[in-house]
Amino acid sequence: SKLCVIGLGYIGLPTAVVFAQNGWEVTGVDINSLAIDELNKGRVHIKENGLEEAVKEVVVEKKFCARMSPVEADVFVIAVPTPHNHDLTANLRYVENAIKSILPVLKLGDTIILESTIPPRTTRDVVAPIIDEAGFKSGDDIYLAHCPERVLPGKILKELYENNRTVGGINSNSTEKAAKVYRSFVQGKILETTAESAEMSKLMENTYRDVNIALANELTKISEGLNIDVLEVISLANEHPRVNVHQPGPGVGGHCLAVDPYFIIEKDPENAKLISNARTINNSMPEFVIDQMKKVVKTSSKIAIFGLAYKGNIDDVRESPAMKIAEQLMTENYNVEAYDPYVKQEQITFKLSSYKNALQNADILLILTEHDEFKCLDWQEIDQLMTTPNVLDTKNCVKNVAEQINYYNFGNLYN
């Protein structure tokens, strides 16, 4: 059967590839013409483990091709981004445009699956009416379901196959149809539900994590004031069989955890108090890191930053707290040099530094991302390059620190 994926980003492209690997004739659609040309040559604009090889294979075998506009298909999968507006409400422009773009090729009996993250009720209250206005009866003529993606960047291909999948239709026929589509490759469970429950559960998964990280970050601030080692406290508490305190850090980044909670908040700000506070706490962490750093360095100091991506071993800087810290320090006129082995110059507006240049004559090294490269550092060399070997490890990720280094993490900020 034919399947058309709209949006060839972090989620859409791997999803298209996986369908193509499993018997579907797949067309991928994107507005980025450059990316389209590259993809049809088997080259990939996204860094993700195993993705380029997989794309090459399905292109060569003619199971996948990319183009600028949708073609007739039995199933349409929408995987466009949902950015947020200035007031942090969801901007549904891309989702709406994607749906409108398939209307000219849509025919009776087709299935539309929304994978984009959306506020609760969007499938029924926003998307279904667009289909109905075009003269179809959604649920009867066109099957419509929300099937949120839940894959972890860095492990996307593996998780697409292995994770359980929630499938929520606007009626039971829609749920059935969409579930059948995913059964073609998903090895995990297919959880059948309503569109609303699917939307809300996806948002709640990320909100759960965000709120728990906020709790760890709040505990960090409290413990710092009381001279208590927060990292030890967390590991002790986590020895309890029903406790899982998350890890504190410089804040929460990425396009999911730092964004999704707002999609719940916008629907009921009155009641979403804990969720909203968690966002505020996590957003305050870059400032907390800078305040801690200022205990150790002077205004004339040079600061080396290791890590700009929002988490380890990926190149994504979206909503990254490390970027906020780097930019804030630059605004404050510190001499800042940032190094990240994954991030490329064109992704950011300031100049990326090399490993050595960043460390040269620095007074403090801020470790803001837990890239594997940072876990085992050459302390001898670092000590020689830096003016004063202060290290603030906000991710508690480095190992075997040499004695001559003044090492700080969130557990020993008070030393």
Q: Nearest distance from residue 44's CB to ligand SAJ, in Å?
A: 19
Nearest approach, Cβ of residue 256 and ligand SAJ (Å): 3
Query: Which residue, among 74, 78, 54, 72, has the nearest Cα to 64 in the 3D structure?
Result: 54
Nearest CA to 329 out of 348, 361, 309, 303 is that of 303
Minimum gap (Å) between residue 308 Cβ and ligand SAJ? 12
Residue with tokens 């190992």, as numbered in its chain: 399
Catalytic residue among 4, 147, 256, 397: 256
To ligand SAJ, the closest distance from the beta carbon of 20 in angstroms equals 21
Q: Residue 205 or residue 287: which is nearer to ligand SAJ going by CB?
A: 205
Whether the Cβ atoms of residue 309 and residue 371 lie closer than 8 Å to each other:
yes
Give min distance, CB of 190 to ligand SAJ, in A. Answer: 17
Alpha carbon 171 to chain centroid distance?
30
- Closer of 130 and 190 to ligand SAJ (Cβ): 190
4 vs 156, beta carbon nearer ligand SAJ = 156
Min dist CB 199 to ligand SAJ, Å, is: 12
Cβ contact 249:395 at 8 Å:
yes
What strand order describes the sheet that includes 190-194?
A: 64-67, 25-29, 2-6, 75-78, 111-114, 143-146, 165-169, 190-194
Choose between 74 and 161: whose C-beta lies nearer to ligand SAJ.
161
Q: Are 75 and 110 spatial neighbours (Cβ–Cβ below 8 Å)?
A: yes
Query: Nearest approach, Cβ of 318 to ligand SAJ (angstroms)?
Result: 9
The catalytic position among 202, 221, 302, 324 is: 202
Residue nearest to ligand SAJ (CB): 256
Any catalytic annotation for residue 256?
A: yes
The nearest distance, CB 69 to ligand SAJ, in angstroms, is 26
Q: Does the active-site annotation cover 4? A: no
> Tokens 């300031």, residue?
350
Compare residues 310 and 339 and give the one whose CB is closer to ligand SAJ. Answer: 310
Nearer to ligand SAJ, 103 or 231 (CB): 231
* Residue closer to ligand SAJ, measured from CB, 81 or 139: 81
Quick one: how far is CA 252 from the chain centroid?
10
Residue number with CB closer to ligand SAJ (115 or 363): 115
Task: List residues near ligand SAJ by CB under 6 A.
Answer: 149-153, 205-206, 209, 213, 246-247, 249, 252-254, 256-257, 310-311
Catalytic residue annotation: 202, 256
